[in-house]
Amino acid sequence: MHLLIGCGSNSNRILIYTDKLISNVYIEKFREESYGVGGDVYSVYLTDSIRFRKFVCKYYDSQSFNTRIIGDSIYIFRFEDSYIDSNNKKIDKKLINIFGFDYIMLKNEGKFEK
């Protein structure tokens, strides 16, 4: 028996969408190949498509994310979505992580992560 755990090839990603956050800054969402194990896994990146691309996080079917711009700062909030548990009780959406980035710093560093 062979068990395949945690393969991380960029060729196993599919771009789901690109959304403009501010002038020349976009958020990209990719679906990662999960090989039928668990649910879908997504990865999120910030990019200007030329000077920088920054990996933000991975999230799963049961999670979602929102963004907020304050000045030159970009904040990405990752949430666990609400659900009904086995006792038919509603569990509310909850915040898991906050990721903060300075747009000027990203642009000046010029790193392009895959």
Is residue 69 in some structural domain?
A: yes
Count of domains for the chain: 1
Is residue 8 in some structural domain?
A: no
Is residue 38 in some structural domain?
A: yes
Averaged pLDDT in 10-residue chunks for the chain of 114 residues: 40 85 91 73 91 91 88 92 85 90 92 85
User: 82 is in which domain, residue-wise?
Assistant: 13-109
pLDDT of the residue at 67: 92
- Give, as one character, the DSSP assignment of residue 11: G
pTM of the model: 0.76
74: part of which helix (H) or strand (E)? Answer: strand 73-80
Is residue 4 in some structural domain?
A: no
pLDDT of the residue at 36: 62
Is residue 49 in some structural domain?
A: yes
